[in-house]
Structure 1
Amino acid sequence: MDLSSIQSLVNEMKEKMFSSNCDPYYSFISASAYDTAWLAMIPDPHQPSQPMFKNCLDWVLYNQKDEGSWGDCDAHGIPTIECLPATLACIIALKKWNVGTVCIEKGLAFIHANTEKFLREMNNNSPRRFAIVFPGMVDLAHTVGVVELVFLHRPNGVVSELFNTRQQILEKEKDAETYQSLPLLSYLEALPASYEIDEDDIIKCLSSDGSLFQSPSATASAFMATGNKHCLAYLLSLVQRCDGGVPATYPMDEELIKLCMVNQVFRLGLADHFTEETEKVLAQVYRNYMNQESWVKPSNLVAAQQALFKDSLAFRLLRMHGYALPSDSFCWFLQHGDIRDQIENNNEYFSSAMLNVYRATDLMFSGEYELQEARSFSKKLLDKTVSAGTRDQTHFISSLWYETFASWFTESMWGKIGSIPSMDEYLETGMTSIATHTIVLPASCFLNPSLPISKLRPQQCESITKLLMLIARLLNDVQSYQKEKDEGKANSVSLYLQENPEAGIEDSIAFVREILDEKKKEFLQHVLMDGFCDLPKPCKHLHLSCLKVFQMFFNSTNRYDSNTEMLQDINKAFYLPLEVGNSKPLNPLPLQTGTKKKHLTINSYFNRPSDCKHYMNRSFATRPISWPASTDYGPKFIPPKFRFCFT
Structure 2
Amino acid sequence: MSPSAYDTAWVAMVPATEYSGGGESDRRPCFPQCLDWIMENQNPDGSWGLGTDHPFLVKDRLSCTLACLLALRKWGVGQQLVQNGMDFIASNGWAAANNNDQFSPVGFDIIFPWMVNYAKELDLTLPSILTSHVVDSSLHIQDSEIRRKQNVQVYALEGLGKSCNWKGVISEHQRSNGSLFNSPATTAAALIHSRDEKCFEYLISVLKASNGRVPTIYPMDIYTRLCMVDNLERLGVSKYFEFELRNILDEIHMRWLEKDDEIFSDITCHAMAFRLLRSHGYDVLSDELTEYVDEEHFVNTVSMQYDGVTTVLELYRASQARICDESILDKIHDWTSAFLKQQLLNQSILDKRLRKQVEYDSYNFHGTLDQFGVRRSIELCDARDFRILKTAYRCPTVHNEDFVRLSVEDYGISQAQYQKELQQMERWYVEFRLDRLNQGRNVLQVSYSLIAAVIADPELYMARISYVKAIVLITLFDDFFDCYGSREEALCVIELVRKWNVHAETSYCSREVEILFTALYNTVNEVAENAYVAQGYWIKEDLVSRWLDLLENFARENESWSTETNVAMSLDDYLSFAWKSIGGKICVFTPTPFLGIKIPQEMFKSAEFDSLSEYTGLVCRLLNDLKTFKKERDEGTLNGVTLQIVGGVSEEEAILKVEEIIEYNRRKVLQMVYRREGSIVPRECKELFLKTSKMAYCVYPYNGGDEYSSPNLIMKDIKAMIWEPLELPNLST
User: TM-score of the superposition, structure 1-length normalised?
Assistant: 0.47
